[in-house]
């Protein structure tokens, strides 16, 4: 089921949470929403699942406007919020039974058994949720979302806080959903390797704006490889700046001068400077991480500050 996001704006008081992103999420894809902290990912998801309304713009799920027909959309879209809680005294099976009844699902017992199996909670189904680990709780949340076999599944940072084994289990479940169903899965994550593994396409948000969107393979290739040469000038700094000018992207970072260029141009750059001034090389492989940083840097350039984004705003986990 295709999702279309068109020029969506949302403010909370003075804070602009979404500033007009427009993109399509193809039917049946696994789609990643990436971004810095506060980029607007959760806000977008809250609007997408009909929990909140945009100030302007439009989100359509399978051609239906979420704002105009939220109840129809809620039947099609299941949401795993970042922090899903369950009553401690209930068992996993009881939690799913309540969810199934609330949605008026038929053949509840069979569906619950199947879903418990899908998320690997069959053994723990009749234990109280209070004894579940963090990862089991997340899988129970996913099971609740999956019960009605939704055509759209929205997962907000589904693996945040899970240990490596929990993360792997979650990845395997999402991959199985991708393989075995036609569901459109939309997930957010700060873990770029996770998005690279699971997602066909991604959108990159920053400050509520869309910075990049497209198939993971294309973004990865477009990012290209490159080399950053870090120079420590001794004495003639203007002369060194002159020598590197036009040989790459030149940035002054404290005392250092950093020049980023394509791999093939690195030899010309190095022959233009005294090798004693070269502090180190950083070789960048093409990949989603490079694409992510490129997208944020493009946004900085458009804003005209020319500075790399600050440490907080570029926080991403790259295991
Ligand atoms: N209910 C709210 N009231 C006030 N401000 C809000 C509210 N919800 C979100 N915001 C603000 O809107 C901006 C976008 O927040 P959002 O939670 O959508 O970002 P995010 O990309 O999900 O961030 P994170 O990666 O840290 O979870 C932030 O500046 C946030 O502080």
Same domain membership, residue 13 and residue 61: yes
Which DSSP category does 301 fall into?
H
pLDDT at 99 over 50: yes
The residue range of the domain holding 73 is 3-214
* C-alpha 170, offset from chain centre: 15
Count of domains forming the chain? 2
Same domain membership, residue 178 and residue 92: yes
Same domain membership, residue 160 and residue 263: no
| pLDDT given at position 274 | 87
**Residue 99 belongs to a domain:** yes
Percent of all residues in the chain with a pLDDT value above 70, rounded to a whole number: 92
Establish whether residue 42 lines the binding site of ligand 1, counting it when its CB lies within 6 angstroms of any ligand atom. yes
Closest C-alpha to ligand 1, atom 6:
12
Same domain membership, residue 200 and residue 64: yes
Nearest-5° Cα angle at 8, 157 to 149: 45
Confidence at 276, pLDDT banded by 50, 70, 90: confident
Query: 182, 214, 246: which is the final residue of a domain?
Result: 214
Tell how far the Cα of 16 is from the centroid of ligand 1, in angstroms: 9
Same domain membership, residue 18 and residue 90: yes
- The minimum-distance atom of ligand 1 relative to the CA of 35 is 21
The answer to whether the CB of 95 falls within 8 A of the CB of 124 is no
Q: Quote the ipTM score.
A: 0.97
Same domain membership, residue 51 and residue 11: yes
Question: Other C-beta atoms within 10 Å of 49: how many?
Answer: 23
The answer to whether the CB of 202 falls within 8 A of the CB of 195 is yes
**Residue 275 belongs to a domain:** yes
pLDDT at 19 over 50: yes
Closest C-alpha to ligand 1, atom 1:
12
Same domain membership, residue 266 and residue 163: no
The DSSP bridge pattern shows strands 64-65 and 256-261 to be unpaired
Distant-in-sequence contacts of 7-12, Cβ < 8 A, 24+ apart: 7/56, 7/57, 7/58, 8/44, 8/47, 8/54, 8/56, 8/57, 8/58, 8/59, 9/54, 9/55, 9/56, 9/57, 10/40, 10/43, 10/47, 10/52, 10/54, 10/55, 10/208, 11/55
Q: How far apart are CA 212 and CA 191, in angstroms?
A: 17
Same domain membership, residue 186 and residue 76: yes
Query: 161, 188, 214: which is the final residue of a domain?
Result: 214
The answer to whether the CB of 204 falls within 8 A of the CB of 292 is yes
CATH number, domain with residue 264: 3.30.70.1150
- The highest-confidence range among 183-192, 234-243, 250-259, by mean pLDDT, is 183-192
Average pLDDT over residues 303-318: 37
| pLDDT given at position 148 | 84
> For residues 202 and 82, which has the higher predicted lDDT (pLDDT)?
202
| pLDDT given at position 132 | 92
The answer to whether the CB of 109 falls within 8 A of the CB of 129 is no
**Residue 319 belongs to a domain:** no
Query: 187, 214, 241: which is the final residue of a domain?
Result: 214
Same domain membership, residue 257 and residue 124: no
Same domain membership, residue 248 and residue 119: no
Closest C-alpha to ligand 1, atom 30:
38
Same domain membership, residue 204 and residue 93: yes
CATH number, domain with residue 129: 3.40.50.300
């Amino acid at each position: 089921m295709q999702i279309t996001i068109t020029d969506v704006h949302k403010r909370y008081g003075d804070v602009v949470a979404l500033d007009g992103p427009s993109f399509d999420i193809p039917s049946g894809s696994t789609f990643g929403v990436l971004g810095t902290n506060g980029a607007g990912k959760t806000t977008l998801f809250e609007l997408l699942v009909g929990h909140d309304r945009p100030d302007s713009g439009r989100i359509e799920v399978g051609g239906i406007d979420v704002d105009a027909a939220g109840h129809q959309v809620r039947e099609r879209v299941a949401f795993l919020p970042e922090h899903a809680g369950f009553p401690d005294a209930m068992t996993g099976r009881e939690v799913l039974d309540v969810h199934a009844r609330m949605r008026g699902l038929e053949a509840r017992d069979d569906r619950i058994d199947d879903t418990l199996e899908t998320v690997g909670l069959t053994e723990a189904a009749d234990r109280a949720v209070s004894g579940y680990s963090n990862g089991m709780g997340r899988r129970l949340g996913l099971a609740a979302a999956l019960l009605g076999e939704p055509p759209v599944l929205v997962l907000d940072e589904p693996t945040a806080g899970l240990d490596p084994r929990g993360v792997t289990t979650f990845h395997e479940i999402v991959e199985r959903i991708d393989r075995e169903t036609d569901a459109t899965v939309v997930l957010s994550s700060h873990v770029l390797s996770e998005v690279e593994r699971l997602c066909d396409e991604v959108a990159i948000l920053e400050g509520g704006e869309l910075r990049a969107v497209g198939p993971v393979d294309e973004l990865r290739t477009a990012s290209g490889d490159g080399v950053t040469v870090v120079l420590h000038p001794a004495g003639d700094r203007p002369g060194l700046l002159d020598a590197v000018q036009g040989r790459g992207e030149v940035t002054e970072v404290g005392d250092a001068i950093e020049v980023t260029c394509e791999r093939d141009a690195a030899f010309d750059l190095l022959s233009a400077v005294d090798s004693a001034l070269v502090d180190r090389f950083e070789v960048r492989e093409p990949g989603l991480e490079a694409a992510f940083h490129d997208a944020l840097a493009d946004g900085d350039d458009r804003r005209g500050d020319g500075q790399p984004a600050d440490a907080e705003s570029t926080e991403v986990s790259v295991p």
